[in-house]
Amino acid sequence: MVRRTLTARFMPGVWVFPGGAVDDADAQAPHSFGGDGPGADWKVAALRELIEETGLWLTTDGTKSAPLAEDAFDAVEASEYTLDQDALLYFSNWITPEALPIRFDTRFFLTVVDQDVQVVIDGKELIDFAWIAPREALGKEESEDWAIPFPTRETLLLLATESTADALVERLTAIDVVSPIQPRLLVGDGEAKILLPSDEGFEEAGLHQRDPTLLERLAAVAAGGGRVPAEMRYNR
């Protein structure tokens, strides 16, 4: 996991998985990025962001470590390697609650890397990293040592259900259809929280997602020191 800089406008100081946005160029990636089949732009973005943020290359010859590349496309094209889209197992899709001003349609991929790979971060966009067991990361959030976004926490709970990487791969490979999950925002007295479709109050919260006062009340909770989910933290 990696930690976002404290000066980020969105989710400052929060611990997340490596990742980022799909760029237009990802749909036109060179052959060295593993092809252009269905959904390839998502996988290209994941491979590219992993290189740019951690120096880890998922290649057809295994996981490689390299210095950070300002332009991952140029770096891979100039190398002897081909990246391996098949190393990415798509298993989860989260969509930001409708009420929030910054929204994402996010796909999560699992990959298994070699034990001896070395991570590099830039110290600017990202300021720390950790190889960490899912349950340990959840414990850090529970003790409030780490701030972790809701979808990331739910993903950690899923990852923690298996004791080995091989068992996890076997379980997630069995998923036939990845259905999108779109939680809802609920703002109460001194607290804001995110509800899943299975949570009590989810249907009622749907009536308030376009309430023009919802974000004002969210800001008031944050200003008053109330509990606010990590993905609702902003630098202004």
What's the CATH number where 140 sits? Answer: 3.90.79.10
The confidence score (pLDDT) of residue 234 equals 65
- Asked if residue 115 belongs to a domain, the reply is yes
Cβ contact 38:29 at 8 Å = no
The confidence score (pLDDT) of residue 49 equals 95
Q: Does the pLDDT value for residue 112 go beyond 70?
A: yes
* 9-23, 91-105, 207-221, range with the lowest pLDDT: 207-221
Domain assignment of residue 154, given as a range: 2-182
Nearby residues of 40 by Cβ (< 8 Å), 6 or more positions away: 27, 29, 34, 85
- Asked if residue 225 belongs to a domain, the reply is no
- Asked if residue 78 belongs to a domain, the reply is yes
Average of per-residue pLDDT across 215-232? 81
Side-chain-facing half-sphere of 231: CA atoms under 13 Å:
21
- Asked if residue 205 belongs to a domain, the reply is no
- Asked if residue 204 belongs to a domain, the reply is no
How many whole angstroms separate alpha carbon 124 and alpha carbon 77?
26
Q: Sort residue 149 into left (φ over 0), alpha (ψ -120 to 50) or beta.
A: beta
Structure-model confidence comparison of residues 208 and 105, the more confident one? 105
> Domain tally for the chain?
1
pLDDT band at 231 (very low <50, low <70, confident <90, very high): confident
The confidence score (pLDDT) of residue 217 equals 87
| pLDDT 10s digits, 156-202 | 999 999 999 999 999 999 999 999 999 999 888 788 889 999 999 99
Q: Does the pLDDT value for residue 229 go beyond 80?
A: no
- Asked if residue 37 belongs to a domain, the reply is yes
